[in-house]
Structure formats: C-alpha cells, structure tokens
A = this chain, B = another copy of it.
C-alpha cells in the first residue's frame, strides 16, 4: 500500500515505476524515477513539449484503480497546448499536473527525450599496468641561502635522480599548488606525471591511490568505467542515455540538426559534456558514505542489479566505502574516451557536416590530448582527456577501442568483429591485413524504435515459440524461469521485447508461417493474434495480451517493426559478405560480437536468421562492450594509445555502398533466412526442415 504522503507512478511505455512524494509534478516524478520527458522550456509551461496522457487502468499490485482525479486540476496554461479532444483523452502537461495519488502515465513518442539505457558492464580482460599518469613520491631538501633553487626545480631534480624523468613540463594550474603542497608535509610530496612529460598534480605526503575514467559515448548510450589507476580495479560503472537523443535518434539526424541550427553543435556538445559531468558526479558521489547519496532507489536500480552476468561480476567489484576515501572530482587525473566519428566531432565541437557527406572525411583521425578544462569536463583541471583516434568517417574511435581490446591484428585466425550499436561497424582480418567498414543497421537490433522494444530487463520477452498449427504463443521473460505456458502469466509482468528477443520473435514468426520469406504477414493467419490496428491501419501480431502484461496493453510486433529488423539484418549481412569478397575469403575463423546485443543473442538463431555469414558456432563469441574495454585499455596502459594510432592508420576502410551490386546484395540479405549462401556449420545443428524450408 502506498503510504499517505507518497504515491506510485508508472510510466508507459517503458513501464518504469517508483514511489514519489505526492505533490510533485509529473516531470519531477519522471526525473526521480529515471524516465526522460522532453522539457525544452525548463518547466516554464511555455513549450508544451511535455504532453503526457493519464491512462485508465489499475495497479495489479495494489488493486487501486488509477483515476484522473489522482492528479491535480486542469490549469489554464494547458489550454494552449492540449486541444482537439486531447483533453478528453486524458492529456496533460507534465510540468503542470501534480501527483495526488497512484497514477499510470503514458509518455507519447514525441514527448520522450530519449530511449532506454542499456547498462554496459566492464569485462574482465587482461591489461598490462602502465597508465599514462603515474604517481611518484619524492622527498626534497628545503631551500637554503646556499641552495635556493625554485620549488619546481627541487621536485624536478629529485624526479630525475630517483626516476630518470627529465625536462618535465608543468601545468600552470598544478604549478600554483606546489609551494603549499611542498610545505604541508615537511617537503614530501606525491607528484602525478602525465606520459613522463608533464607534472599535472602535486599532493602533500605519500598518496598511493589515484583515479581515472574510461568513457564510451554511443549514439544512444554513454558508459563510464571508473578505475583505480594504481590497482587497475574498476570501482564503478555508470551508464547514461546520451542526452543528445532529443536532437535525433541516429548520427545523420544529429548532423542534420547541426546544419539546420546555428547553435546546434554548441547545444549538442554541451549536452553530452553535461552528461559526462553527471557520470563524474555519480562515481564521485559513490565514494561518499551512502547517507549522503540523494538519489532514490527505484525499480530501475533493482533492474540494473539483476542484469547480466557481467554486470553482476562488475557489481562485485564496486567500491567498498571503508576501503576508499571520499574523493572529489580533482582526484580523477586521467580520462580516455571513444565514440563513433560523428559523436567524436559533435562532442569536440568539430564541424560534423563533412563527415556526413560523401566521401565522408573526418576533421581528424589521430588521437588528441586535450586539457579537461578546455572541454569543460570536470575532472582535475590539469588532467588531459585522451581522445582515441578515428579510423574513417563512419568507423570511429569506438571501433579502434574494439580493436585494441580484441587485438585481431596480433592473430593468425581471420576474425570478423561486429560492433552493433546504433550503427554497425565491421572489421575483418588478421595480422596480415585488416579492413573495416560500416553498415546502417539502425538501432532496431538493440530493441529501440520498435513498438514494444525495451532493454534487457525483467519483464522483457527474450524467447518465444509459436505453434505452427494454432499460432499460439509461448514466451519466456527475463527474470522468470518458467515459460508463459507453464506460468501464471500475470506474474511474469511482461512489458515488452528486448533486443535479443527480437531475433527470436522474427525466427518463430517465420518458422510458424505467420510471416513469409519477404517479411510480410502471410495471408493464411490462424489466430486472432493477427489483426490490423484500427488506429494506424498496420498489420500486427499480439505476443502477449493486455491482461497478461503489467502495462495493461497488448504487446505486439507490427509490420513496421519487422521491416526495421529486416533492414538491420540485411545491412549487417550484406556488409559482412561484401567485406569477405573484398578480402577474397569464403570462410571465417571467428566472429566476435561487441555491444549489448551480442551479450544476449542466441548465436544459432542469429546464424539461421542470416544475421552474419557462416562460422563454427563455438567460434562465435560475444565480447561485451569491447569499445569501452578499449577505452579502459588505453586508460590503464599507455602503450595501447600508441597501438591505437597505429591500428587506426593500418586498417583499410572500405566504402561498401559504392560497390556496384551493393543494392542487390542488400535486398537479398533482407530475406528471412538468407538461403542463397550455404551454412555448412549449421547443417549439424539445425534441423534441415528449418534450414532448408522454402
């Protein structure tokens, strides 16, 4: 039961929920619960962007009916934005309507500031300890009339004598700390030196632990790995929706936003910088005693805890407040960052216009070391942000990150590396030759932009079976062992379909004959699960009925959803095949799938569906967020930075869209499954009637 002064608020379609204090506006509640509602005007009630719909229904758990009266009264300001019968449908402005009791709120597509956050946990990969920033403790003799050397020279000379560090530069902001630091603990200091070249921090006494942050800025998701640079431990992992999502879902949309708005680049850059500062604040707050933490624990957090195996392993490594001191932003002395080329340009305020136009030249390839203060990133002012190098216009530093984490250029086996994010990036080769390319998969394989797509969290359909005779559905949701057929469906709290489930759904729809090879709904439908939606006139198939879900709506997959997945898989498969043709090879020794998608995908089904070319099943591996791992490698081992620059210039980028049969290859690859090619490795695993059905 809700306490008297709090109420349960559930947001749709994300189905996030939480207890909030009564009296908060819906926008304030959404912020507490972690739902992103557009609020351009800063809640001044003048932009009308935060329109939401108060839905009828009830809360299963509490059995209390949600009524419109559970929010505060209609206000005059709303008249201007909510018109034409919308008021009757329950629309309100999120910045006006206040929570008075439990309420279910539907956030329409146009009011969503972003999509769900995919948590990206840190993998346990072997990294040699050789950080770019190192700490040296020195003790110097105080000045005398005979020997009145300057404070800095006193330190420099000792660093030369003890550690062979010569001709060090010193950052001006750091230089200002030196006189006091030297005299605070009797001429003993710890000196932090960047790349054996520049003194960036001096602290009194002996300091052993120091910290860095490795960041992967995706088009949709931003992940930060907070590391102890002395022990290499990942102390904390934080993920965030890329705040730029409100300017457009994909990179082209954001480049367009820049071209259409004079301050577009500035705004998008500032937003992502602010996002990074939020991550910094979060990991710093994580080192302080829990009582000081303000953020309310929501179901979201519980979901995150319950995530993947990797995440659980990561969580085990999280900070122990007793062991680590309370830190400040100044304690973060190094920072590495990877992103695709467009995100790279936008964050650095480099004109992204030309990287979006053929032949897509980036402004710069090589890695950059930029003072944190020059980008407004709030770590130690004297610290550098190490920006990893770009390979090409559509293969960015994130791909370089994957490469230095996986090191295919050190191996004999010919591997195909697939990084499926909002764009697909591909690298093929071995120590003799490497080529890269990109393909426009879009975010469908991550579950985004689908009607009931959601991240891999409890309540998400991850497996499905469709009876070919009856078209009845049996599904499994994350968080429950039992399939729906054997469960009390209501208890599964089904909310949507996650990225890895999408492929399963598509495979079953095809296998059971609900859709045909071309992805169209068959004429011969056997159940009432198939219908044409009266509102949008689209055919759709019901996966879970409203009364089986926790959101009280039918979870469906639409014709448009199927097309999105087909486009994604077609782009990916044809990209892989064209690259193999370029390399002159027919077989792959290994496939490595980076990104959250790879973590959850059923390798066999992916092969069956023709997501990528044939390969021995055992040689198909998920490598998690390898881009982020690469950023972490570069944070903890400076040799990796050299390697990154080398590899970025030695992977040959091939532009597949200029191949003369690109279009034909792509169209063919959209078919389900792609049967033009042979899959020798599948013959032993998959029943021939599935593999060879017409």
Contact = CB atoms under 8 A, between A and B. Distances in A.
A158 to B, nearest CB: 15
A392 interface: yes
A516 to B, nearest CB: 37
Interface string A388-401: 00101100000000
B361 A148 contact: yes
Interface string A352-383: 01100011111111101110011100000000
A350 B653 contact: no
Contact of A153 (B170, B365, B369): B365
B145 A365 contact: no
A164 interface: no
A531 interface: no
A660 to B, nearest CB: 13
A350 B170 CA distance: 13
Interface in A637-673: 653, 655, 658
Contacts of A365: 149-150, 152-153
Given A150-B362, A364-B151, A145 B655 contact: yes
Given A178-B363, A179-B363, A358-B145, A150 B390 contact: yes
A172 B348 contact: yes
Interface in A338-355: 348-351, 353-354
Nearest to A156: B366
Nearest to A354: B179
B149 A348 contact: no
Contact of A148 (B151, B176, B360): B360
A175 interface: yes
Contacts of A145: 358-359, 655, 658
A361 B150 contact: yes
Contacts of A370: 172
Contacts of A693: none
Contacts of A348: 172, 175-176
Interface centre among A154, A353, A354 (most CB of B within 10 A): A354
B366 A153 contact: yes
Contacts of A363: 150-152, 175, 178-179
A128 interface: no
Interface centre among A150, A175, A363 (most CB of B within 10 A): A150
Given A148-B360, A148-B393, A148-B653, A350 B153 contact: no
A357 to B, nearest CB: 10
A361 B175 contact: no
Given A151-B361, A176-B349, A176-B351, 6 more contacts: A143-B361, A148-B392, A151-B362, A172-B370, A172-B375, A175-B350
